[in-house]
Amino acid sequence: MKHTLSKVLAVLAALLMPLTAAVVAPSSAYGAATSSTSAAVFAAWAPWTAYTAGTRVTYNGVEYECVQSHTSQPGWEPPNVPALWKTTGGGGGDTSAPSVPGNLRSTGVTANSVSLAWNASTDNVGVTG
């Protein structure tokens, strides 16, 4: 019996489709759970976890939303990879202000301008935009 490549691919796709559907789970299975009140409760971010776009987690007291489905890995914590996570505006346990920039100095003067330089401030947590 002679089968064309398209028929073989169609059979393989039909066999794999149920497996794909079983692997893909709704985002609520990976961290987004709501309580009976209006406030949402989110699971803590964890490495080696499958996250789908829209899933919300907390990390260091800040709420994040997954923007691209992925399986997390150490080093891919939400503040480290803005391509995968965005802040949702909730949480925020940072109560320490950044340091004051220092060593303000003139690095060049002309008849029309003054160039300035200074040492950057530092913060105890990363700043995201």
Per-residue model confidence as pLDDT tens digits over 65-94: 999 999 999 999 999 999 999 998 755 566
pLDDT recorded at residue 42: 83
Per-residue model confidence as pLDDT tens digits over 102-116: 899 999 999 999 999
CB 93 within 8 A of CB 85: no
Distance, CA of 17 to chain centre = 29
CA-CA distance, 64 to 61, in Å (whole number)? 10
Q: Which two tokens stand for residue 19?
A: 């497996």
- Strand-pairing partners, residue 63, are 58
CB 114 within 8 A of CB 105: no
- Whether the full predicted model's pTM is greater than 0.95, yes or no, is no
CA-CA distance, 73 to 80, in Å (whole number)? 11
Q: Which two tokens stand for residue 82?
A: 């803005």
